[in-house]
Amino acid sequence: DEYVRCIQELGFEYDKSLLIPGSSPFTTLSEDGYRDTKKFLQKKHKFSVLFALNDLMAIGAMKAIREEGLRIPDDISVVGCDNLYLSETTCPPLTTIHIPKREIGRLAMELLLEIIRGEDYRKVELFPSLVVRQSVIPLQ
């Protein structure tokens, strides 16, 4: 699993108990992030960062964290994924992973047209970027 490999490469120990499983395969809304984080926090796990599947879930998680009397990012850092416009308006503004979706779509069409024209297949790589805002602090 790529997630586990990356954690171990960074020198951290993988702890499966710190993975919050979604309630369903379609768990992607802020309400889901809120509910699942609330349940997880009630188990009194010790952790310093929450990485959400997407920005909406991160926003829900932030609400649950605040309701438990914890401070973001002082007690728990939060990171989302998608770089939705909403991520700039949260309190504090959400650090997120930007996936270049427009570029992915544009290149997909370009590559498809090249294939239709009989041109050779070419490999294209696009990379996500971290948009650092105020919902994280350095690990201590």
pTM of the model: 0.84
Tens digit of each residue's pLDDT (9 = 90 or more) over 58-111: 999 999 999 999 999 999 999 999 999 999 999 999 999 999 999 999 999 999
Q: Put the strands of the sheet holding 95-98 in their side by side order.
A: 49-51, 77-81, 95-98, 129-131
> Percent of the chain scored above 70 by pLDDT?
95
Phi, psi of 130 (to 5 degrees): -90, 125
Domains and CATH numbers, the chain: 2-99+127-131 (3.40.50.2300)
